[in-house]
A and B are shown apart, each in its own frame.
With several copies, the nearest count.
Chain A
Amino acid sequence: MSDIETASGTVECPVCAQEVTLADVMQNEIVECEGCAGEFEVLTLNPFTLEELGEDDEDYGE
């Protein structure tokens, strides 16, 4: 098994301040925040830093 670095722990969601629990995540993995359904890329592991992916804003027609 290649030894890709993973990490576990919690981090505060950059958007909604919810405490997000991460289990064995790798760098650049996409994770989802339970509080606001936002999707984030894990930029660094120790400490965790998350970067928000583009929100697919709903098409309101008009």
Chain B
Amino acid sequence: SNRITVAIAGGSGYVGGELLRLLLDHPTFTVTQITSERHKGSFVHFTHPNLRQRTRLKFTGLDELEPVQLLFLCLPHGQAMQQIERFTGLAERIVDCSADFRLDDPDLYAEWYGKPHAAPQWLGRFVYGLPELNRDRIRGAQYVSGVGCNATAINLAILPVVQSGLMVADTDLICEVKVGSSEAGNKASDSSHHPVRSGAMRSFAPVGHRHTAEVLQLLAVNRTRARVHMSGTAIDNVRAALATVHLFVPPGTRERGIWKAFRTTWKSEPFVRVVKEAKGNYRYPEPKILAGSNWADVGFALDNSSQRLVCICAIDNLMKGAAGTAVQSANLMFGLDETTGLTFPGLHPI
């Protein structure tokens, strides 16, 4: 048959669970193995309850991984690069959702992750897995990385301005991301304890956020020099990332010009919608109605008196910010329709 065998390494986390959810309804990809050291031998649906009656798969050990056509790696940061030789020996194509192979420059990696890369020779062989930025290079590629969720929200918010030349060199980009709790993964901690986390507006990494590196990389690819300044606030949502990016644009820049830049960049993109509407309850991009969907909604507002432009992007951090984009890239890698298995429109009301 034309089925493609797939394995998910590190499948007990939220991203692994999302991948499996998507792939169970995918016409071509078939998950044959999903690993978890902690839940080895146990049914997957005991960890991912939304998949009850949808799969009878059990978790296997990482060491029991068998050859497959496509391998998704969802291991903790640092593990993929330690075992990359073994994984590339087992799988024809790999999508690594960790941060290990997102950056193509080993120095950028060391600078932002505080330790030298364990397999720098492999960095150049992975394509950064954001189709909206790298579609041609991802198409038919053998090895593709995943994306950081905050970086993706910021990158999609600013791409029109970056590509349209509306941004002068060395512009300061003040990037505020509001994020949900699932971003920190499924490991409980003191600060994720419900009475502490519920109703939170928690400033985190007000400076020095690791995802800055991926934003810098997008700018470099577009030969644009800008300074990226990130701050995060953790909010009470579970799935959500909202990037609000502030920058100053040259005098004379008008709203129509920005509309054109957004239209030019996004008009043929299957998963990005421009949302800036004069009425209704959802006039600007809003993460909650994207939960479970692969869409990124983008919008902007221009203050004509000060030439401050606010670029906004909403995504589901587990979908467009991780698993959805990984499947989108995998579709491209195997020459399939990019939207295969990714058309769920999200829920409203929610």
Chain A interface size band reads 10 to 19
> Is A23 part of the binding interface, using a Cβ–Cβ cutoff of 8 Å?
no
Interface contact tally, CB-CB below 8 A: 55
Looking at the complex, which one of A15, A39, A60 makes contact with B205 (CB distance below 8 Å)?
A60
Tell me if B150 and A62 are in contact (CB < 8 A). Answer: yes
Q: Considering the chains assembled together, what is the distance between the CA atoms of A58 and B196 in angstroms?
A: 14
> Is B183 part of the binding interface, using a Cβ–Cβ cutoff of 8 Å?
yes
Contact with B along A48-62 (1 / 0, CB 8 A): 000000011011111
Residue on A with the closest CB to B150? A62
Tell me if A62 and B191 are in contact (CB < 8 A). Answer: no
Q: Which residues of A contact B259 (CB under 8 A)?
A: 15-18, 35-36
Tell me if A61 and B278 are in contact (CB < 8 A). Answer: no
> Is A1 part of the binding interface, using a Cβ–Cβ cutoff of 8 Å?
no
Tell me if A37 and B277 are in contact (CB < 8 A). Answer: yes
Tell me if A61 and B260 are in contact (CB < 8 A). Answer: no
Q: Which residues of B contact A17 (CB under 8 A)?
A: 256, 259-260, 263
Tell me if B183 and A62 are in contact (CB < 8 A). Answer: yes
Whether A59 touches B232, Cβ cut-off 8 Å, given contacts A17-B259, A37-B278, is no
Whether A56 touches B263, Cβ cut-off 8 Å, given contacts A61-B184, A62-B148, A62-B150, is no
Contact with A along B272-287 (1 / 0, CB 8 A): 0010111110010000
Tell me if B280 and A37 are in contact (CB < 8 A). Answer: yes
> Is B92 part of the binding interface, using a Cβ–Cβ cutoff of 8 Å?
no
Shortest Cβ gap from A13 to chain B (Å): 8
Contact with A along B194-210 (1 / 0, CB 8 A): 00000000001100011
Tell me if A62 and B256 are in contact (CB < 8 A). Answer: no
Tell me if B183 and A38 are in contact (CB < 8 A). Answer: no
Q: Which residues of A contact B130 (CB under 8 A)?
A: none
Q: Considering the chains assembled together, what is the distance between the CA atoms of A31 and B15 in angstroms?
A: 42
> Is B121 part of the binding interface, using a Cβ–Cβ cutoff of 8 Å?
no
Within 8 A of B (CB), among A2-49: 15-18, 35-39
Q: Which residues of A contact B148 (CB under 8 A)?
A: 62
Residue on B with the closest CB to A39? B278
Q: Considering the chains assembled together, what is the distance between the CA atoms of A58 and B184 in angstroms?
A: 11
> Is B255 part of the binding interface, using a Cβ–Cβ cutoff of 8 Å?
yes
> Is B189 part of the binding interface, using a Cβ–Cβ cutoff of 8 Å?
yes
Q: Can you identify 27 A-B contacts, CB atoms within 8 angstroms?
A: A15-B259, A16-B263, A17-B256, A17-B259, A18-B259, A18-B263, A35-B263, A36-B277, A36-B278, A37-B277, A37-B278, A37-B279, A38-B278, A39-B279, A55-B279, A56-B279, A59-B184, A60-B204, A60-B205, A60-B232, A61-B183, A62-B99, A62-B148, A62-B149, A62-B150, A62-B184, A62-B210
Q: Knowing that A58-B204, A60-B204, A60-B209 touch, tell me 8 more A-B residue pairs with CB under 8 angstroms.
A: A17-B256, A37-B277, A37-B278, A37-B280, A39-B278, A55-B279, A56-B278, A60-B205
Chain A residues packing against B (C-beta within 8 Å): 15-18, 35-39, 55-56, 58-62
